[in-house]
């Protein structure tokens, strides 16, 4: 599936999809459910996978530490 196709299904721009793929996007809960449907995974799996990836890259702890 191309970024354009995914963007059309989500009702967002291709640029938004690109930012999401790059870890800079913040999907809404509704968008997570649509993504889950498109890719046949539970929305919670998308969130936990993203959180783990961010943590592995050191981004999650940086984000959390900003709020302390």
Contact 2, 16 (CB under 8 A): no
Q: What CA–CA distance (Å, rounded) separates 61 from 44?
A: 20
Per-residue confidence (pLDDT) for residue 66, from 0 to 100 = 43
- What's the pLDDT tens digit per position in 8-17? 999 999 999 9
- What's the pLDDT tens digit per position in 29-54? 899 899 999 999 888 887 765 555 55
Which segments of 1-68 does DSSP mark as H helices, in order? 3-10, 14-21, 29-39, 43-56, 59-66
Q: At 24, is the secondary structure helix, strand, or coil? A: coil
0.75 exceeded by the pTM? no
Q: What CA–CA distance (Å, rounded) separates 39 from 23?
A: 18
């Amino acid at each position: 599936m191309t970024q354009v196709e995914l963007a059309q299904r989500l009702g967002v721009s291709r640029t938004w999809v690109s930012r999401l793929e790059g870890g800079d996007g913040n999907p809404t809960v509704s968008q997570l459910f649509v993504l889950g449907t498109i890719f046949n995974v539970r929305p919670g799996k998308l969130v936990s996978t993203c959180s783990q990836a961010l943590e592995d890259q050191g981004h999650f702890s940086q984000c959390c530490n900003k709020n302390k």
